Structure 1
Amino acid sequence: MKSFNPFQGFRYFLERLFVRGTFYQFLVMAAVIGMVSLAGGLLVYGSGDQDTGLLGEIWWAFLRLSDPGYLGDDEGLWRRSVSTVLTVGGYVLFLGALVAILTQWLGRYMRSLEKGLTPVRMRHHIVILGWTDRTLPLIRELWLAEGRVKRFLSRMGGPDRLRIVVLAEDLQPELAAELRTDPVCKKYINSIILRSGSALNNEHLNRAACLHAAAVLVPARTYEYTGGVSSDVEIIKILLALNSQASEAGLALPYVVTEIQDTKKVLIARRAYHGPLEVIDGNSFVSRMMVQNLRNLGLSLVCLELFNHGIGQNLYIHRNSFFDGKKVGQIRMGFSRATFCGIVRKCESAFTPFLNPPASMILQGDDALVLLARDYESAKIFTTSEQREDPEMASLSERSLQPEPQQQSVLVVGWSHKIPELLREFSSYTDTLYDIRIFSSRPVEERLQILKESGFSDHENFCSHLLGEVTSEEAWRTLDLSSYHSILMISSDRLSSGEEADARTMAGYLQLEALLKNTDHRPQILLELSDPNNRRLLGSRRGEMMISPLLLSHLLVHVALRREILAVFHVLFRASGPEITFRSLEHYGLPAGPYSFDALRRHAWNQGEILLGLFSGAEKEDSSGTLILNPDHKVVLHLKPHDRLVVIGTQLKMMKGELCT
């Protein structure tokens, strides 16, 4: 051990003073300047005017130390020499040190202001907890849904001005730069407030004023993990923290919308929060959308409109006491600029949708209509008709979507945490027997262990595993691609970012495209991506694309602004019950030719279905073509033989427990 060094001890003492802050740094420099002034006064004491005492000489030294303008006023070699040393030392001690301290203090203060550590003072705003791959699309979608946001804020008792507060754990200048470069967000940059802090910290939550918010959105993380804690566990901790905050402050809990990736933790999240809460089962919903897209070619274009605000048609929830006691068949023809899709009924504490209901169904007091329209004002337009109610000719057995059981082989390329839910969704369909092959570089033993831990044991009956590198041409050549009806390419969640996952997925897609180029076999291809910016990289290549984070961001916004819509989408994209599908003209016994939309939807009603629009221009059974949803009801559409009708049909297999009176 080294012996004690007095100099090191003194330096340690100075360090402890400097780290205490700017005030102590000023005290140290004042002490140093005082000692230098004392030394200078002692050195020149007695060399000047005899009437000047020691205090006068010390003041003389301080003036030379602090103001270089006195340098030429002294007489005598000795006083001039000391004055010169003091003046030069003053540049370092008085000017240099003090300017350095002030500069550092000002820099620290400005950086602290940039970090957003001050709690916001506002009410009826929307809070987003965390900056993930969903956050920027969330903000963008909120601004695009301006009309819905105003109605939502009005229902919450607040002003119709949207203000968004984002609590980001690592608030870097790059986040603000992303907002300024986004074509939508940059227009409203002054209404987007960034705060720094962790949503897991109770004190940090106060910075976003969560308890005074109209809604709190908690998006999940896909690729970023810290400390081995999953996104779902963090979200549950956030819900508990909000409970604790509200209890301590004696305030009501805010409305929270969040995404849970693991289906088994959805119930835990509901138990963790005692206020109004909507939980989106992320993996389950994305899996449903994937299977539905494989079952119905072109569905991705329909979903693109339904989920995106500002693009075409959207689903709206509309309540009007005028419809109480009326039958569905009496009102569905009255909407001249919207398409009636069903109703949402509140049963106890839950919302139960009835999509494609029978014409004889009677509306009750709290029922809300589900309408497809361009905007909310169009959805409200209703014209009372004197004509008798529209009949429904199809019986229940005729209106069911019950094709003969068929077999389909599906190649799933890649691996992610969604695979167990995806297999569970495939197995839930009784009209199709799926043969699933999973092609991935992940060891088969690990896959089987994950499936076992997920609690899904039926996968052995219809799922097998293939081992290979998805970016390797040799591995692809070992596959018999002609035996597959559909190929689903999954974005991997094992990589550090969505960009890397998409690069790997697109490399595999290009290998697949090259192998299929010289063959007559054309399986349906569904490509899952993580970054919306990568959509345009593939151009107009064949196949359909699904961007999961973007889809979930849109769903979070829809649910935040209208709670009932989650139940509607939940019913619309599941294995049994209502389903968006495509019908050929032959299915309705119609020849090609001119038809008004009103006439076509009457044909659909006669078959027990609801017509949503037209998919035209597709020469083959693929996703190419033009989608027209909810056109002008009086316009004449010139249908060609390959055109398909977009409808909502209902499978016969319905859960009886869904009906409530």
Structure 2
Amino acid sequence: MQFTLSELLQYRLDYHFTNSEFAKPVLLLMVTFVLIVLGGFILLISTGEDISVTLWKSWTYVADPGTHADTEGTLERIIAFCVTIGGMLVFALMIGIISESIGEQVDNLKKGKSRVIECGHTLMLGWNDKSLPIIQQIAFANESEGGGVIVVLAEHDKNDLEDTLESAIESRENALNLMGTEVIFRSGNPLVQYDLLKVGVLSARSIIMLASDNISPDESDSRMVRQVLSLKGMENLAGHVVVEMQDVDNRELVNLVAVDIAEVIVAHDIIGRLMIQCARQPGLAYILESLMGFEGAEFYLENWPQLEGLQFSDIICRFDDAIPIGVKKSVDGRVLLNPLSTLRIEQGDQIIVLAEDNDSYTVNDGTYKVKKNVSSVPQRLPMKTEKMLFCGWRRDMADMIMQLDAYVTSGSELWLFNTVPVEERVELLKDKGNKDELKCKNLVIKNAVGNPIIRRDLMVIKEVRVDRDGNSFYSGDEITVDQFDSLLILADHADQTNIQTSDSRSLASLLIIQDIQSKLLEKRKQELIAEGKIDEANSLRAKDPISEILDSRTRSLLSVVNCKGYVMSNQIVSAVIAQVAECRDLNMILSELLSADGTELYLRQVEDYVDIKRSDKFSFWDLSVRVRERREVLLGFKSVNETFPECKTVLNPSDKGVPRKWQPGDLLVVLALD
């Protein structure tokens, strides 16, 4: 193949310019050197002066265009003019190269490609609809320390992420408040080790890995496992890892490879458990939302040597500004919530408390005298069968049903009302590779087909069954929404990219159910009044539906539709992730609180513990000791005297030793085994 010398030179120049970042500066220096030397030798020949003098003159012509104005002689002026023109071209090229280099650096900064020089920061890998709430919760946690640093590494454009954060801060509704915390964005792939090192992964205090919301759950979980393996392979990793998974069955994949560094949060599993607990206990939603976040009281662990040797029952009243709820044993690291009263605090044990901040509480002198109540206390009634309604469908419906089955008593009914054909549901509920249908010990599953946002479908809910040939038919069993003990409106997770559409459907379904309930209730009251049963008519109350809300901006609309029960799904999951990121031991605590096994949250009547009719006043500590006699822990109370729902519930009150008058209907927030 024939090629010319110019083609060869052009090819070599292209190659060096493409593969070497110093090619342009080196070429510029060479051109400058050749120009100075060439001009110096021409001046040497024309003037006969010393070589050092002519080279210096040539340099001045190149460096300063005004120098050649003082040149005398026609030939020397021509030479000076030519060298000066060459020098102007050289400096023009130099300015172009410098400008291009600066532009590239600015572009790299805009694209988030520069290295982050931080230590002890919170690192967030990925970006989804939980990112902003997580940033807000971590900002709450850092407020007492004057702020902190959050570094976000995502495959999104850096400018777009910064605009999203700025819009959230400037929002008039639910504005994001960073409270001194700095948020730094970088663009990159969390699977690439180079990009991880760029954001200080080794020096981070904690690492949050967020699931991808634009791919299938199994693919997202597989991606999370690969990211965990990438971090596991790094030496000297300082912080622990919080991994958001989509499917509870995939939790063990992370535990198998990185149980020593990783804490797994399964978002759907958490929300499913929350929905079940809140539906069975009206008023619990607000309490759980308060406990999960850093705004208000949260859980802390600390060692108190002055309490060593005491039994757990002896430390109930030893904190003026905190409530002890359990112990983390120093011997084996076990976390014991609501332990036996005889459990002894040993050396190195950490006390788990509910407090406003980690530095807001201390041990008191233990001189408080508890008021005794020797009157008999009525025993709680045994559990009764329940009727529950699930409006909507979730891909983890089988997990929710099994969780609910562990809570309720035998013979309870669960009605599934959604648009999924019954034949298809039977197959979907065979999840986890089971060939047999879902087996429940206590629940009776009843299927109904209909659209939760269509009134005529909700007026009368009819059971649909499937025969042996796989054909569906109406069984003749039907029910109205006013007959249910609990109603759950599940968010539509089919379209993960549009959470506002899902919330709109939830609100529409909520409004229709409330309207149907009120009309049926009024009709029933009129019937009772006509029968002369006025007291029974006045005691009728509608069961408030529990609605799952994904977008925090929907919160302001809930008061408009008089929604008293709701679960902010993304908000609560984000708060849980943030809490575990701050302290990995909290994962065990929160997991037990949301599980049907072990210690759970309950709302109890104050009359279950003290006879408020025979005694005037009791302090919070008085009740705490009485509650402890049943192996329960008192966290707060819900008063019937307050006007606003948010003011009714008080967790970790500040005046624990001050007696107060308790009213019939006041509720106590307790941790109990059942």
The TM-score with structure 2 as length reference comes to: 0.74
Query: What is residue 611 of structure 1 aligned with on the other side?
Result: 634
Residues 477 and 518 from structure 1, CA distance in 2 versus in 1: closer, same or farther, beyond 3 angstroms? closer
1:218 to 208, 228, 233: 208
Query: What is residue 427 of structure 1 aligned with on the other side?
Result: 405
Residues 119 and 646 from structure 1, CA distance in 2 versus in 1: closer, same or farther, beyond 3 angstroms? same
Paired letter, 1:281:
V
Does the CA contact (< 8 Å) of 1:414 and 1:470 recur in 2? Answer: no
Paired letter, 2:445:
C
Q: Aligned-pair distance for 1:240?
A: 0.8
Query: What is residue 130 of structure 1 aligned with on the other side?
Result: 126
- Looking at structure 1, the residues matched to 243 and 544 of structure 2 have their Cα atoms a distance apart, in angstroms, of 33
What is the DSSP-based 3-state SS (H/G/I as helix, E as strand, rest coil) of the residue aligned with 2:600?
A: strand
Does the CA contact (< 8 Å) of 2:612 and 2:663 recur in 1? Answer: no
What is the DSSP-based 3-state SS (H/G/I as helix, E as strand, rest coil) of the residue aligned with 2:508?
A: helix
- Looking at structure 2, the residues matched to 107 and 470 of structure 1 have their Cα atoms a distance apart, in angstroms, of 56
Residues 630 and 242 from structure 1, CA distance in 2 versus in 1: closer, same or farther, beyond 3 angstroms? closer
1:95-134 to 2 correspondences below 5 Å: 104-134=100-130
Query: What is residue 308 of structure 2 aligned with on the other side?
Result: 324
- Looking at structure 2, the residues matched to 110 and 507 of structure 1 have their Cα atoms a distance apart, in angstroms, of 45
Residues 419 and 347 from structure 1, CA distance in 2 versus in 1: closer, same or farther, beyond 3 angstroms? farther
2:221 to 232, 240, 248: 232
What CA deviation, in whole Å up to 9, does each residue of 1:607-646 have, x standing for no partner? Answer: 44332222123799x9786111222113343433332222
Matching of residue 296 in structure 1 with residue 281 in structure 2:
yes
Query: What is residue 485 of structure 1 aligned with on the other side?
Result: 485
Query: What is residue 177 of structure 2 aligned with on the other side?
Result: 184
Q: Aligned-pair distance for 1:173?
A: 0.9
Query: What is residue 507 of structure 1 aligned with on the other side?
Result: 505
Query: What is residue 306 of structure 1 aligned with on the other side?
Result: 291
Query: What is residue 150 of structure 2 aligned with on the other side?
Result: 164
Matching of residue 562 in structure 1 with residue 583 in structure 2:
yes
Query: What is residue 564 of structure 2 aligned with on the other side?
Result: 543
What CA deviation, in whole Å up to 9, does each residue of 1:378-409 have, x standing for no partner? Answer: 432322339799999999xx99x772341222
Paired letter, 2:349:
D
What CA deviation, in whole Å up to 9, does each residue of 1:152-196 have, x standing for no partner? Answer: xxxxxxxx973332222223212223334534227333xx33222
Paired letter, 1:542:
C
Does the CA contact (< 8 Å) of 1:222 and 1:493 recur in 2? Answer: no
- Looking at structure 2, the residues matched to 419 and 277 of structure 1 have their Cα atoms a distance apart, in angstroms, of 26
- Looking at structure 1, the residues matched to 661 and 374 of structure 2 have their Cα atoms a distance apart, in angstroms, of 25
1:137-152 to 2 correspondences below 5 Å: 137-146=133-142
1:235-634 to 2 correspondences below 5 Å: 235-246=224-235, 251=236, 254-273=239-258, 275-311=260-296, 313-345=297-329, 348=332, 350-355=333-338, 357-385=339-367, 403-415=382-394, 417-431=395-409, 433-440=412-419, 442-455=420-433, 459=438, 462-477=444-459, 479=461, 480-497=480-497, 500-517=498-515, 519-520=517-518, 521=521, 522-540=542-560, 541-588=562-609, 589-591=611-613, 594-617=617-640, 626-631=648-653, 632-634=655-657
Residues 454 and 379 from structure 1, CA distance in 2 versus in 1: closer, same or farther, beyond 3 angstroms? farther
- Looking at structure 2, the residues matched to 438 and 618 of structure 1 have their Cα atoms a distance apart, in angstroms, of 37
What CA deviation, in whole Å up to 9, does each residue of 1:564-616 have, x standing for no partner? Answer: 32222222222133222122243334239644323333443344433222212
Query: What is residue 42 of structure 2 aligned with on the other side?
Result: none
- Looking at structure 2, the residues matched to 67 and 444 of structure 1 have their Cα atoms a distance apart, in angstroms, of 88
What is the DSSP-based 3-state SS (H/G/I as helix, E as strand, rest coil) of the residue aligned with 1:534?
A: helix
- Looking at structure 1, the residues matched to 350 and 212 of structure 2 have their Cα atoms a distance apart, in angstroms, of 35
Does the CA contact (< 8 Å) of 1:329 and 1:391 recur in 2? Answer: no
Does the CA contact (< 8 Å) of 2:24 and 2:97 recur in 1? Answer: yes
What CA deviation, in whole Å up to 9, does each residue of 1:258-289 have, x standing for no partner? Answer: 22232222221012226433222333222221
- Looking at structure 1, the residues matched to 328 and 376 of structure 2 have their Cα atoms a distance apart, in angstroms, of 23
Query: What is residue 75 of structure 2 aligned with on the other side?
Result: none
Paired letter, 2:486:
S
What CA deviation, in whole Å up to 9, does each residue of 1:540-570 have, x standing for no partner? Answer: 5223222222212211222232333222222
Residues 549 and 408 from structure 1, CA distance in 2 versus in 1: closer, same or farther, beyond 3 angstroms? same
Return 10-19 or 420-429, whichever deviates more: 10-19
Paired letter, 2:398:
P
- Looking at structure 2, the residues matched to 438 and 467 of structure 1 have their Cα atoms a distance apart, in angstroms, of 6
What is the DSSP-based 3-state SS (H/G/I as helix, E as strand, rest coil) of the residue aligned with 2:492?
A: coil
Does the CA contact (< 8 Å) of 2:147 and 2:179 recur in 1? Answer: no
Does the CA contact (< 8 Å) of 1:438 and 1:463 recur in 2? Answer: no
Paired letter, 2:136:
R
What is the DSSP-based 3-state SS (H/G/I as helix, E as strand, rest coil) of the residue aligned with 2:603?
A: strand
- Looking at structure 1, the residues matched to 630 and 132 of structure 2 have their Cα atoms a distance apart, in angstroms, of 43
Q: Aligned-pair distance for 1:426?
A: 0.8
Paired letter, 1:543:
K
Return 543-552 or 509-518, whichever deviates more: 509-518
Q: Aligned-pair distance for 1:131?
A: 2.0
Query: What is residue 189 of structure 2 aligned with on the other side?
Result: 198
Residues 252 and 21 from structure 1, CA distance in 2 versus in 1: closer, same or farther, beyond 3 angstroms? closer
Residues 386 and 133 from structure 1, CA distance in 2 versus in 1: closer, same or farther, beyond 3 angstroms? closer
Residues 171 and 351 from structure 1, CA distance in 2 versus in 1: closer, same or farther, beyond 3 angstroms? farther
- Looking at structure 1, the residues matched to 90 and 425 of structure 2 have their Cα atoms a distance apart, in angstroms, of 69
Paired letter, 1:270:
N
- Looking at structure 2, the residues matched to 613 and 299 of structure 1 have their Cα atoms a distance apart, in angstroms, of 12
What is the DSSP-based 3-state SS (H/G/I as helix, E as strand, rest coil) of the residue aligned with 1:406?
A: coil
User: How many pairs are equivalent?
Assistant: 612
What CA deviation, in whole Å up to 9, does each residue of 1:514-565 have, x standing for no partner? Answer: 3532543423311212222222233352232222222122112222323332
- Looking at structure 1, the residues matched to 157 and 374 of structure 2 have their Cα atoms a distance apart, in angstroms, of 58
Query: What is residue 51 of structure 2 aligned with on the other side?
Result: none
Paired letter, 2:429:
L
- Looking at structure 2, the residues matched to 394 and 263 of structure 1 have their Cα atoms a distance apart, in angstroms, of 45
- Looking at structure 2, the residues matched to 393 and 459 of structure 1 have their Cα atoms a distance apart, in angstroms, of 47
- Looking at structure 2, the residues matched to 393 and 564 of structure 1 have their Cα atoms a distance apart, in angstroms, of 40
Does the CA contact (< 8 Å) of 2:273 and 2:403 recur in 1? Answer: yes
Q: Aligned-pair distance for 1:207?
A: 0.9
Does the CA contact (< 8 Å) of 2:416 and 2:445 recur in 1? Answer: yes
- Looking at structure 2, the residues matched to 17 and 444 of structure 1 have their Cα atoms a distance apart, in angstroms, of 68
Q: Aligned-pair distance for 1:293?
A: 0.9
- Looking at structure 1, the residues matched to 453 and 91 of structure 2 have their Cα atoms a distance apart, in angstroms, of 63
What is the DSSP-based 3-state SS (H/G/I as helix, E as strand, rest coil) of the residue aligned with 2:229?
A: helix
Query: Is there any run of 5+ residues in structure 1 with no aligned partner, and where?
Result: 1-7, 33-49, 52-65, 70-89, 151-159, 652-661
- Looking at structure 2, the residues matched to 393 and 383 of structure 1 have their Cα atoms a distance apart, in angstroms, of 29
Q: Aligned-pair distance for 1:295?
A: 1.7
1:82-101 to 2 correspondences below 5 Å: none
Residues 393 and 564 from structure 1, CA distance in 2 versus in 1: closer, same or farther, beyond 3 angstroms? farther
- Looking at structure 1, the residues matched to 190 and 93 of structure 2 have their Cα atoms a distance apart, in angstroms, of 40
Residues 452 and 607 from structure 1, CA distance in 2 versus in 1: closer, same or farther, beyond 3 angstroms? closer
Q: Aligned-pair distance for 1:512?
A: 3.7
- Looking at structure 2, the residues matched to 21 and 478 of structure 1 have their Cα atoms a distance apart, in angstroms, of 75
Does the CA contact (< 8 Å) of 2:429 and 2:437 recur in 1? Answer: no
* Cα root mean square deviation, aligned: 5.0
Residues 222 and 453 from structure 1, CA distance in 2 versus in 1: closer, same or farther, beyond 3 angstroms? same
Paired letter, 1:220:
L
